[in-house]
Amino acid sequence: MSSWLRFAPIFLLLLIVAAMLWRLANPPDTTVHSQMIGKPVPQFALAAAVPGVAGLSSAQLADGKPKLIHFFASWCVPCIGEAPVLDQLKKQGVQIDGIAIRDRPDELAQFLARNGDPFDRIGSDPESKTQLAFGSSGVPETFLVDGRGVIRLQHIGAIEPGEVPAITAAVEQAR
């Protein structure tokens, strides 16, 4: 038997191992990514979610200043861990507006009291209509909207402390 033939199974093994290594490094992405990036924000006008804090509408987003739109809820567990990161962003001068999905005012108020309130405005989205219009599929998710009201970035899941510099840089670029 020629040596090429006898060593062929080993080459095949190497190919398969390479494919497996690739997959381990790039886990299957089962999240739904928004198709709205690069497009203007969908039209919406949301009532105040918490008494004392203004609601949010799409018209307010094209005021020349980039901002983060943060989808969250009082029942969203990872949002609790993310709160200090949002505070940090706010301290660095990033403007953050919130959209609370499927929530109740009293529970929201409790959540904000316990975890801090980095939001300028919070809109109430009781049926996730605005959330879906943004192309968001879960909480927490954060969208970067530039001064002209165009969606520039989608961040799925809680923002890690290590990602703060990248986000502030992106906000700067969006001016």
Contact between 78 and other proteins per CB under 8 A? yes
Using DSSP, state whether 39 is helix, strand or coil: coil
Binding mask 112-151 toward other proteins (x if CB under 8 A, else -) reads ---------------xxx--xxxxxxxxx-----------
Report whether 138 contacts 158 (CB < 8 A).
no
For strand 45-46 and strand 141-145, is the pairing parallel, antiparallel, or unpaired? unpaired
Using DSSP, state whether 141 is helix, strand or coil: strand
Instruction: Single out the residue of 55, 88, 95, 104 in contact with other proteins (rule: CB under 8 A).
Output: 104
Stretch that binds other proteins, among 22-30, 46-54, 62-70, 111-119 (CB under 8 A): 22-30
Cβ 77 to other proteins shortest distance, Å: 5
**Using CA atoms, how far apart are residues 131 and 118, in angstroms rounded to an integer?**
20
Contact between 103 and other proteins per CB under 8 A? yes
Contact between 64 and other proteins per CB under 8 A? no
Contact between 13 and other proteins per CB under 8 A? yes
Choose between 2 and 162: whose C-beta lies nearer to other proteins. Answer: 2
Amino acid, res. 31: T
Cβ 108 to other proteins shortest distance, Å: 11
Instruction: Single out the residue of 35, 64, 162, 175 in contact with other proteins (rule: CB under 8 A).
Output: 35
Cβ 92 to other proteins shortest distance, Å: 26
- Alpha helices by DSSP H, 26-141: 77-91, 105-115, 129-134
Cβ neighbours of residue 140 under 8 Å, at least 6 residues apart? 70, 71, 72, 76, 78, 79, 82, 157, 158, 159
The CA-to-CA distance between both ends of the chain, in Å, stands at: 68
Contact between 38 and other proteins per CB under 8 A? no
**Using CA atoms, how far apart are residues 88 and 146, in angstroms rounded to an integer?**
20
Residues that bind other proteins (CB under 8 A): 1, 3, 5-7, 9-10, 13-14, 16-17, 19-28, 30, 32-36, 39, 73, 75-78, 102-104, 127-129, 132-140, 157
